[in-house]
Chain A
Amino acid sequence: MIELIDTYWLYFLVGQYPHGPLGGLALTLILAVLGLLFAFPLGLVFGIARVSPWRSVRWPVSALIQIVRGTPLLMVVFWAYFFLPSLTGQNTDQFWTMLVALVVFDAAYLAEIIRAGIQALGKGQTESARSLGFSYLVAMRLVILPQVVRNMLPSLVNQFVSTIKETSLGYIIGLTEVSFIATQINTQVLTRPAEVYLLLGLTYFILCFGLSRFAFWLERHLQQRTMAKAHA
């Protein structure tokens, strides 16, 4: 296994870069980070729309979210892969296809996290902000969302964990992320699939487990801060 790592570690980490496109673990992480980065504002808007008092805002967004949540990510990837070119009139490369799919998919899940956060806050906060004379949207921005986003930080990290794992589906459309690279390595070595995929699994696990623990720590830390404040 050592010689396997010795031979292929750079290929595993960055793909053919700098002699070809960036790939491997680096690409996986870049995709996950960008995916969440773009999905977050979109999820925020969707989440707010989900609890909007106006039906014309609430219904279409709810429908979109239910459709995305009721569909496997693989389907979303296929749609992005086959429909996006017909929509934009030009071929989209695998990276952007996968990014679009991830953003749409994660935004739907984040929207649900945000909706739950807003509803968990109770209507007292909105009522007191509105009583002071703030409009609905200003009350959201100044009073509700700052609290919701802080409360959802652990969920956000967990969503990032999911996104990292989701990037592996890029394999299906030939995106050279880390799973794809592992398969390439396996094809080249031919005789040691168990070890190759064990290494791949370990890589995902260390990354995701570490982040999960971080989310857990964050959750406790935030809880303790609230408790400490209450008992000071």
Chain B
Amino acid sequence: MIQIEKVNKWYGGYHALVDVTENVAKGEVVVVCGPSGSGKSTLIRTLNRLEPIQSGRIVIDGVDAHGARVKLNTFRSHIGFVFQQFNLFPHITVLENCTLAPTRLRGLKPAEARDEALTLLDRVGLASKARAYPGELSGGQQQRVAIARALAMRPPLMLFDEPTSALDPEMVGEVLLVMRDLARDGMTMVCVTHEMGFARDVADRVLFMDAGRVLERAVSSDFFARPEHPRLRQFLSDIRTPFPVAA
């Protein structure tokens, strides 16, 4: 479904992505992790062309994402994208957030879009909040709406850019549950996250990035049980012991 071939990206003189090559199969759930500044968010943002690349190729469902002839808006409408900061539209209701794109871009009638949106909101457990404005919801609720909004375009692929990093700890679980259900329904997903529990339980494969390179890729059980690259071993031990234990 996704072919990433020798992708390079620079921010000025900074080499943000170094020869990244990767494939994601249809129905696969891939988690990308790594320390801050490793390029994982940059990578996921190049997939729907929120960020340009300087060399290499990214092909999604047969479409060259960075090619000159791609119909960018149509291309993007087939890829759901969930942001760290939710980015719901604050001036319209939750329901309208979920019907805006389907009515304008998929040509749905308002009643159809409304029914579909309510089904999706129900799926993320928020049908009762349809008439609320985003500012009235908690962070976790907003992120679940953002997932429903993305799903309303019926994308075959969903990208998540640190979807739980801006949330209070007690709200992380509800968002991860929605994502897990989505994965179980067979959605193809690429997810940048620090949630190692999610990576272990839900992901088919985990990529580890550092300094713009993919240093390790493994099925999730091996990733945690038998990490090979020393940088990954250190990363895993760092996140497991947040505080140095006093002797």
The answer to whether B83 and A128 touch across the interface, beta carbons within 8 angstroms, is yes
Q: Which of A127, A129, A226 has the most CB of B within 10 A?
A: A127
Asked whether, in the complex, the Cβ of B87 is within 8 Å of the Cβ of A124, the reply is yes
B50 within 8 A of A: yes
> Which of B79, B88, B90, B105 has the most C-beta atoms of chain A within 10 angstroms of its own C-beta?
B90
> Which has the most chain B C-beta neighbours within 10 Å: A130, A146, A147?
A130
Contacts of B104 in A (CB 8 A): 134, 138, 142
Q: How far is the CB of A209 from chain B (nearest CB, A)?
A: 31
What are 13 A-to-B residue pairs whose CB atoms are below 8 Å? Answer: A124-B83, A127-B83, A128-B83, A128-B88, A128-B146, A130-B76, A131-B81, A134-B101, A134-B105, A138-B104, A142-B104, A147-B90, A226-B135
Judge if B153 is at the interface, Cβ distance under 8 Å: yes
**Could you tell me if B105 and A131 are in contact, using CB atoms closer than 8 angstroms?**
no
Say yes or no for A19: interface residue by CB 8 A criterion: no
When distances are taken between beta carbons in the complex, the residues of chain A under 8 Å from B136 are: 229-230, 232
**Whole-angstrom distance between the alpha carbons of A133 and B74 in the complex?**
6
In the bound complex, residues from chain B placing their C-beta under 8 Å from that of A132 are 76-77, 100-101, 105, 149-150, 153
Whether a CB of chain B sits under 8 angstroms from the CB of A143 is yes
In the complex the two chains form, is A127's CB within 8 Å of B87's CB? yes
Q: Residues of B within 8 Å of A, CB-based: how many? A: 27
User: Considering the chains assembled together, what is the distance between the CA atoms of A127 and B88 in angstroms?
Assistant: 11
Contacts of A150 in B (CB 8 A): 91
* Known contacts A133-B73, A232-B136, then 12 further A-B pairs from the complex at CB < 8 Å, ordered by chain A residue: A127-B50, A127-B83, A128-B88, A129-B89, A130-B50, A131-B81, A131-B150, A132-B100, A132-B150, A226-B135, A229-B136, A230-B136
By size class, the interface of chain A is 20 to 34
Contact yes or no, A131 B76, CB < 8 A: yes
A residues 109-124 touching B (CB-CB < 8 Å): 124
Q: Given A125-B87, A147-B90: A135 and B79 within 8 A (CB)? A: no
Q: How far is the CB of B83 from chain A (nearest CB, A)?
A: 6
Query: Is B85 in the interface zone, CB < 8 Å from A?
Result: yes
Residues facing A in B102-144 (CB within 8 A) are 104-105, 133, 135-136
SS class of chain A's interface: helix, strand, loop or mixed?
helix
When distances are taken between beta carbons in the complex, the residues of chain B under 8 Å from A128 are 81, 83, 87-89, 146
**B164 on the interface (CB 8 Å rule)?**
no
The smallest C-beta distance from A35 to any residue of chain B, in angstroms, reads 28
B220 within 8 A of A: no
In whole Å, how far is A228's beta carbon from the nearest beta carbon of chain B? 9
Contact B100 A142 (CB under 8 A): yes
Tell me which of A125, A127, A134, A230 contacts B135 (CB under 8 A).
A230
User: Which residues of chain B have C-beta atoms less than 8 A from A232's C-beta?
Assistant: 135-136
